[in-house]
Amino acid sequence: MRLLIAGGGTGGHLYPGIAVARAWLRGGPERRVLFVGTASGIEARVLPREELPLETISAAGIVGRSPGQQIGAAFLMARGLAQSLGIIGRFRPHVVLGVGGYASAPAVAAAWLRRRPIVLLEENVVPGMTNRLLGRLARRVALAFPGAAPYFPLGKAVETGLPLRGEFGGEPARPVSFWEGPLRVLIFGGSQGARALNEAVIEALPLLGERARAMRFVHQTGEADLERTREAYAGAGAEAEVAAFFYDMADRFRNAHLAVARAGASTAAELASMGLPAVLIPLPSATHGHQEANARHLAGRGAARMVLQRDLSGASLAALLKEFDEGRHLLAEMSRRAREAARPDASEAVAVLCKEAARAA
């Protein structure tokens, strides 16, 4: 059986797709998988490392752009639709899984035109408009969060949890104790970094003073802020590993006491799976406020603290780091509550939905 996985662009869309691909391929040697994405998305550099096949199409976002940009994006999407029709004709998938991102829409539309069964993966509490529309074409919609069900046609939505890469699944051992040693802080803004988080850290370091020198930091900055963030840690005398991007994030999670991060769906699910407490700063420009909804979901379960970006500053971040450094019992309790929100079987559940959709075709 052949599965085509459409979408990507960011890690939040791509990595759940990779997790489903692995689960699908475990089903037997006759199983095959193909990703459809864009040459500019994260999939172009990650999938070769994962030894998973990728074909690229033209695609661009339309919402929130100027009229001229929307016209250009519409042409790209039309070209992407034609390219997707060709890819589906050659690969002949038994089922198509849309995971979100610019490439998802033309590929899923092509699957519908080719009369291939469609499964969508909705990663967020509040779905974007594209998935709401594509949901009408899908056989099933796999939900990371139950709160998304009312946005889709009755009977199509199935709560599966969000698929995670194998290294994030199960019950991973935690090499560092919450009660011992320096506070270990992992800071990341998703696969592309986050300027607001980087700025807050740079401002917080001098306010922490001697306490910063007693902590240990791992910071994924994105390319733009890499050097000046490194300089800020060096100037504060703080021990820090700073990089534009880390490929081994599961190990970083295991060796941290606390994360400071955006609130994308994959991030929220990975934090829960690894039992890592977090300070979540939702991206304010995220469509339909989905990151804020994700953050509220974890914060409401006692697994995270949410700080809106308008309230984020060096002073507010420094105060939180001080609070958690002095109150390690808070971290231990947040970790327990995070684990309660985890769904370690999500990858297999989505793969089963895809198999069922293919067999029902």
| pLDDT of amino acid 291 | 92
What integer is the mean pLDDT of 142-159? 93
**How sure is the predictor about 42, in pLDDT bands with cuts at 50, 70 and 90?**
very high
Which among 47, 12, 296 is positioned nearest to 128, based on CA atoms?
Answer: 12
Split at pLDDT 50, 70, 90, the class of 94 is very high
Q: Does the annotation flag 61 for ligand binding?
A: no
63 confidence band (pLDDT: 50, 70, 90) = low
What count of residues does the chain have? 361
Dihedral angle sign, alpha carbons of residues 246, 248, 249, 254: negative
Q: 37-41, 62-66, 134-138, 178-182 — which is least confidently predicted? A: 62-66
> Domains in the chain, ordered, with CATH?
2-164+344-360 (3.40.50.2000), 184-340 (3.40.50.2000)
Over residues 167-180, the mean pLDDT reads: 70
Is 124 known to sit in a ligand binding site?
yes
Question: What integer is the mean pLDDT of 231-235?
Answer: 98
pTM attached to this predicted model: 0.79
CA quadruple 259, 224, 130, 114: dihedral, nearest 10: -110
Whole-number pLDDT of residue 130 = 85
Q: Is 128 annotated in some ligand binding site?
A: no
126 or 337, which is more confident? 337
From the list 126, 168, 145, the residue with the least C-alpha distance to 18 is 168
Q: Which tens digit of pLDDT belongs to each residue from 21-40? A: 999 999 999 999 999 999 99
Three-state helix/strand/coil letters over the chain: CEEEEEECCCHHHHHHHHHHHHHHHCCCCCCEEEEEECCCCCHHHHHHHHCCCEEECCCCCCCCCCHHHHHHHHHHHHHHHHHHHHHHHHHCCCEEEEEECCCHHHHHHHHHHCCCCEEEEECCCCCCHHHHHHCCCCCEEEECCHHHHHHCCCCCEEECCCCCCHHHCCCCCCCCCCCCCCCEEEEECCCCCCHHHHHHHHHHHHHHCHHHHHCEEEEECCCCCHHHHHHHHHHHCCEEEEECCCCCHHHHHHCCCEEEECCCHHHHHHHHHHCCCEEECCCCCCHHHHHHHHHHHHHHCCCEEECCHHHCCHHHHHHHHHHHHHCHHHHHHHHHHHHHCCCCCHHHHHHHHHHHHHHHC
Q: pLDDT > 70: what percent of the chain?
A: 96
Which residue, chain included where needed, has tokens 């992407």?
A: 80
Average pLDDT over residues 245-256: 91
Tokens 């955006």 -> residue: 262
Low-confidence winner among 157-161, 175-179, 319-323 (lowest mean pLDDT): 175-179
**Averaged pLDDT score across all residues of the chain:** 92
Please say if the pLDDT value at position 192 is more than 60: no
pLDDT at 175 over 80: no
Question: By mean pLDDT, which of 9-13, 95-99, 218-222, 270-274 is the weakest?
Answer: 9-13
Model confidence pLDDT, tens digit, residues 109-124: 999 999 999 999 999 8
| 165 marked among binding-site residues | yes
Can you tell me the mean pLDDT for 268-280?
A: 94
pLDDT confidence band for 169 (50 / 70 / 90): low
pLDDT confidence of residue 11: 83
* Residue 208 pLDDT: 98
Question: pLDDT category, 266, cuts 50, 70, 90?
Answer: confident
Residue 108 β-bridge partners: none
pLDDT band with cut points at 50, 70 and 90 for residue 67: confident
What residues pair up with 20 in beta bridges, in sequence order?
none
Residue pair 35/43 in contact (Cβ under 8 Å)? The answer is: yes
Question: Is the pLDDT reported for residue 216 higher than 80?
Answer: yes
Rounded CA-CA distance 334/282 in Å is 19
Share of the chain above pLDDT 90, in %: 76
pLDDT exceeds cutoff 70 at 171: no
Is 191 annotated to bind a ligand? Reply is yes
pLDDT(294) > 80 = yes
pLDDT single digits (tens) 311-340 = 999 999 999 999 999 999 999 999 999 988
- Least Cα distance to 343 among 12, 16, 13 occurs for 16
